[in-house]
Structure 1
Amino acid sequence: MTISKARDLKIEFLILCQDDSTGLWLIIRITKNILGTKDADEIQKIILHLVLEFLKKQFIVVGFPLRDGTFKRWHGEPKELVEKIKIDWDQLDREPNLGDVIWFYITEKGSAELKRLNDWKKHHEKNLLNVVQKPKSLLSKLKALFLKKSH
């Protein structure tokens, strides 16, 4: 996985969790789209690694949304929570669907990280655009200079 794809996956994961509590099934879908893979073992490994990172950094909490609009959080150490998610996921013996295994909800730290990642991406995309445009403008100047000298 490239650094840019890893960053894009982190951004999309946090965006989904920012909008509402987000089910594992949706994280699987965006992981497939961003990474361009359908390998179930690879997808599970990547998602569980990302969930562990996010839990350790307190960017997300895990649990289930309740009918009254609240969120029933699972408590425990990040590694224990990820192990439970993996066990529940493996017991399905299929790809999780809506409502299966676990849901994710963003924290204030997660929202701050999402803002930081988005700001970084915008800044670097702007710089990249400048780098791409400068050679074009330089080429135009060289052409104009050449045309002047040839006439």
Structure 2
Amino acid sequence: MAIWNTGEKNGFWKGGRIVTPHGYVLIRVGKDHPCADTRGYAYEHRLIAAEKIGRPLMNSEKVHHIDGNKQNNSPENLEVCTSLADHKAKHRTKCMDRKLPNQENIVIFCACGCGNTLNKFDGYGRPRKYKHGHSRRKQNV
């Protein structure tokens, strides 16, 4: 049984291109495509990035939009990140006060004035001011 109002035959057809509520572009590739969802759509940026590197993307690989525009899917604007952590690091800026990739973790003095030293960033890249066990409350007592 043929369905008469699907795809190009549907009055709401927009060329097989949809923009998601999160701003990403979906392209109609058909339900048989390995990247397709249950409706037959795949993320355009993942398709273009896979074509750029010459192989299918692994599920763990994320695609970074260099200029921040999720709809600019030109190959020059896409960068494949090996992990979610790598992708999140691309979005860090100096104003976030988080350790940037390849930034040196300098040694600082504890802010309570005890004279102990510590690394400026913890293992997650968050800034530190006090040696473990020290707090502002202990200063005022």
With the length of structure 1 as denominator, give the TM-score of the two structures. Answer: 0.23
Name the structure with the higher strand share: 2
Name the structure with the higher helix share: 1
Higher RCO (CA 8 Å, separation ≥ 6 residues):
1
With the length of structure 2 as denominator, give the TM-score of the two structures. Answer: 0.24
Which protein is bigger by CA-based radius of gyration? 2
